[in-house]
Amino acid sequence: MYKLLRVLDILGITSPDGTLPKEIGNLIHLTYLRIRSTNIRKLPKSIGKLKNLLTLDYWDVFAETEVQVPNVLWKLEKLRHLYLPNEMGGSIEALKLHTLKDLISLWGVGGGDWTRKEMGRLSSTLSKLYVHRISSKDQLKAVLDCPSMTENGCMYALALEWYGFKMKLDALSSKQGLRKLRLIGQAPDTSYNHDQLLFPSNLAKLELYYTKLERPETLSQLGKLVSLKVLKLSKDAYIGTKWCCRKEEFPALEELKLTSLPQLEDWDIEDGAMPCLKKLSIVSCIKLKRMPEGLMFVHGLEKLHIENMPTSFSTRHQKIKEYSDEASSEGEDYHITEHIPEVIIQDYSCASFR
């Protein structure tokens, strides 16, 4: 009976020995296998028998030691979506994936020699790729020159994580097929002139972490991306002290999240900027003095989330009730955010909803 299974979702279990039974290879009709939020740190070689598998999702593993994936995945020639755990470590080096001619998603492969040897052999059908632990510029070049990243490639969503060197932001400017981009690593912008720094023009979603951008002009360049709907700047992505969103910048932006930008002090929004913004989140930007006055002109804003901000910032947007006579007073900047239907303020001690 179980041999006829086509979908198997293993979620949140704890294995006594941290392994998956070799009998998994008997489920030859499986098309979907997900192993998530488990302590399973070793897959059996019999997994190479799952010739009908279309999706192998092995992304999230709780393990104190390196995860081991046997070099048998190349046998799964129908595989389209492969998600591998960050904890693979050295076992990635033996993995061969170039036989997977229909592969669409490859999420979680590590850098190192594997990147130099295998990236150029991967299928041009790849449209979703995440490569982490990139430790040199030649490894990065191997990723950017892979078949799916060329002019005729299918790359749609790309996530890169690197360390030990600084990436030039314009390295991706020619990748016009990209719609979603996540960058994790230093990519300083101080060496660019205003008209030299370019981003893929069709981006709809952009997430930056640790990039350490310094120039407000760089954010203005992002504001010219007419298709950009989601922007997340997190963990020192921007280390400048000022940011002004000019009129007509970010014309399609619907969601903006600013997290852990500890140097940002002054933020302004001109009337006409971010006209489509619906969700705004400000988290742990501890030096930000106040909410932009121009936010009151963003009439379509539906949700504002303020978290882990100084009390002096949060109280400016709250109604404070005087319990003695049931009266209430408005914070100094309440007029800026009063038009927003849902306002959630979570500071270090409490949460309030308006």
What pLDDT is stored for residue 329 in this prediction? Answer: 59
Q: Answer yes or no: is 108 within a domain.
A: no
Contact 14, 35 (CB under 8 A): no
Q: Answer yes or no: is 172 within a domain.
A: no
Angle, CA 308 vertex, CA 307 and CA 312 arms, to 5°: 100
What pLDDT is stored for residue 324 in this prediction? Answer: 47
Its pTM stands at 0.92
Q: Answer yes or no: is 272 within a domain.
A: yes
Q: Residue by residue, what is the 3-state secondary structure of the chain?
A: CHHHCCEEEEECCCCCCCECCHHHHHCCCCCEEEEECECCCECCHHHHHCCCCCEEECCCECCCCCCECCCCHHHCCCCCEEECCHHHHHHHHHCCCCCCCCCCEEEEEECCHHHHHHHHHCCCCCCEEEEEEECCHHHHHHHHCCHHHCCCCCCCEEEEEECCCCCCHHHHCCCCCCCEEEEECCCCCCCCCCCCCCCCCCCCEEEEECCCECCHHHHHHHCCCCCCCEEEEECCCECCCEEEECCCCCCCCCEEEEECCCCCCEEEECCCCCCCCCEEEEECCCCCCCCCHHHHHCCCCCEEEEECCCHHHHHHHCEEEECCCCEEEECCCHHHHCCCCEEEEECCCCEEEC
Q: Which domain holds residue 253?
A: 189-354
CB count in 10 Å sphere of residue 7: 11
Q: Answer yes or no: is 126 within a domain.
A: no
Residue type, 253: L
Pairing state of beta strands 342-346 and 351-353? antiparallel
Q: What is the CATH number of the domain that holds 222?
A: 3.80.10
What pLDDT is stored for residue 195 in this prediction? Answer: 54
What pLDDT is stored for residue 298 in this prediction? Answer: 95
Domains of the chain: total: 1
Q: How many residues does the chain have?
A: 354
d(CA 26, CA 242): 60
Q: Answer yes or no: is 127 within a domain.
A: no
Quick: pLDDT tens for 308-354: 999 888 888 776 555 545 545 577 888 899 999 999 998 755 566 65
Q: Can you read off the two tokens belonging to residue 294?
A: 């121009």
Q: Answer yes or no: is 33 within a domain.
A: no
Q: Answer yes or no: is 193 within a domain.
A: yes
Query: What residues are paired with 266 via a beta bridge?
Result: 242
Q: Please identify which residue in the block is written with the tokens 């280390």.
A: 239
CB count in 10 Å sphere of residue 102: 12
Angle, CA 65 vertex, CA 64 and CA 67 arms, to 5°: 115
d(CA 221, CA 281): 21
Residues with Cβ within 8 Å of residue 325, at least 6 apart in sequence: none
Q: Which residues of the chain have pLDDT under 70?
A: 1, 89-90, 151, 191-197, 319-329, 348-354
